[in-house]
């Protein structure tokens, strides 16, 4: 809101039931029609007050002292008005009054606002937000705190001091000091941008420090198992039950495309008949809360049947006796060595394998793959399609044969 009108008025305010004697001198500030009134802690008899000049009549010492006090108040008001304008703040009657009475708003600090945001996220953990999301914002807060100490040698920074230099220097710091790769650095800065956007919307920040800053991530080639590697993994016989169990749960994800947390939370209630009368998985991705409906392939159904009477599945109401993500990944590295797989095997590779080797490589339309993966946009699924060299080769062979005919 731009200041269009501004007025100051000194006046006498007679109390209810007034008969005689001195009355308080008050001041009224009016900005764009909105007004605020306050007493000046000075008093004057009505017959000595010049309402037109808004000052006390007379040249005696008392009149001079009272008028000098009112002059100081008027100068303080103009100084307060100038201060607001210099700080790009909206001039309002309330803001001016707060400065005059010493009740001026405390400076808004970045880490304080960030901490408040994270506390709200934590309160909604497991209902509105996944634990991984809460942890990611906590990590970003700590990175921001460390960066401010590194760059400014301060415990915090005023929001109004955020600038393009702050953002670009934080990117440099994340890459050079924290040794983050480009995409990780951009993710952390993207989390901080949410806080900055909030400050912009509340009016605490007048200019966007991200204006002109490029947030583009670099495309990453995602690892996945080839058909030979997948078959080798499935055929391998282990002498240790825990390795067989981890391998089976990993294979289940390869044939369903479910991420670790979604497999972890899968219950028998999520398995039901689909439109074709066969067994489907009906779930929502925890990461995006996007519905996902997946017809069960025979390999996946066989694994569910294998573990339906497992004690942990019965006691915990799960379809598979899955361990923690950390333990699963630790055992998968051991499994990869035993199977002669040189890729760094993690649970998430199973999801990529489903998207590429199991579905796209077998001519399942990308729209169907996107739906089963629970992607919000088909653009995300297209990242998998770009790396299918085998599919490109097959398509070109068909075209070559057609042209030869």
Q: What's the pLDDT score for residue 2?
A: 59
Query: Quick one: pLDDT at residue 369?
Result: 87
Enter the CATH code of domain 227-402: 1.10.443.10
CA distance 115 to 112: 5
Q: Give the pLDDT confidence score for residue 196 in this predicted structure.
A: 94
**pLDDT score, position 330:** 92
Which residues is 272 bridged to in the sheet? 280
- Angstrom distance (rounded) from CA 226 to CA 95: 66
pLDDT at 386: 59
Which residues of the chain carry a pLDDT beneath 50? none
Instruction: Give 355-374 pLDDT, tens digit per residue.
Output: 888 998 888 888 888 888 88
Q: What is the pLDDT of residue 363?
A: 83
pLDDT, averaged across the chain: 88
pTM above 0.75, yes or no: no
Q: Which pLDDT score, from 0 to 100, does residue 384 have?
A: 73
Q: Where are the domains of the chain?
A: 6-100, 110-202, 227-402
> If you compute the radius of gyration of the chain from its CA atoms, what whole number of angstroms results?
34
What angle is formed at CA 319 by the lines to CA 317 and CA 324, rounded to 5 degrees? 85
């Amino acid at each position: 809101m731009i200041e269009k009108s501004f007025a100051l008025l000194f006046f006498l305010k007679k109390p209810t039931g007034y008969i005689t004697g001195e009355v308080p001198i008050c001041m009224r500030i009016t900005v764009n029609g909105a007004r605020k009134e306050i007493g000046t802690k000075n008093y004057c008899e009505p017959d000595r007050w010049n309402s037109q000049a808004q000052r006390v009549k007379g040249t005696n010492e008392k009149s001079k002292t009272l008028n000098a006090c009112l002059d100081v108040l008027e100068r303080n008001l103009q100084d307060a008005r100038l201060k607001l304008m210099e700080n790009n703040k909206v001039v309002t009657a309330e803001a001016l009054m707060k400065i005059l009475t010493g009740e001026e708003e405390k400076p808004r600090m970045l880490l304080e606002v960030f901490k408040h945001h994270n506390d709200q996220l934590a309160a909604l953990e497991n209902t509105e937000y996944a634990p991984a999301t809460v942890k990611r914002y906590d990590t970003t807060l700590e990175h921001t705190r460390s960066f401010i100490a590194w760059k400014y040698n301060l415990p915090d920074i005023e929001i109004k001091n955020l600038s393009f230099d702050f953002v670009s220097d934080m990117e440099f710091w994340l890459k050079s000091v924290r040794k983050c790769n480009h995409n990780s650095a951009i993710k952390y800065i993207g989390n901080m941008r949410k806080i900055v956007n909030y400050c912009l919307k509340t009016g605490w920040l007048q200019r966007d420090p991200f204006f002109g800053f490029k947030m583009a991530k670099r495309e990453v080639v995602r690892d996945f198992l080839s058909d030979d590697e997948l078959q080798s993994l499935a055929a391998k016989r282990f002498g240790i039950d825990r390795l067989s169990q981890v391998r089976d749960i990993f294979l289940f994800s390869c044939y369903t495309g479910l991420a670790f947390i979604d497999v972890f939370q899968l219950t028998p209630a999520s398995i039901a008949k689909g439109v074709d009368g066969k067994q489907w998985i009906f779930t929502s991705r925890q990461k995006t809360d996007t519905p996902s409906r997946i017809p069960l392939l025979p390999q996946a159904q066989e694994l569910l049947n294998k573990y339906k009477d497992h004690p942990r599945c019965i006691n915990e109401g799960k379809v598979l006796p899955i361990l923690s993500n950390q333990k699963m990944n630790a055992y998968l590295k051991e499994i990869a060595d035993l199977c002669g797989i040189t890729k760094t095997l993690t649970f998430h590779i199973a999801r990529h394998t489903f998207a590429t080797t199991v579905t796209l490589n077998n001519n399942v339309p990308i729209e169907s793959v996107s739906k089963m993966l629970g992607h919000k946009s088909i653009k995300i699924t297209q990242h998998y399609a770009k790396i299918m060299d085998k599919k490109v080769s097959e398509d070109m062979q068909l075209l070559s044969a057609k042209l030869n005919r």
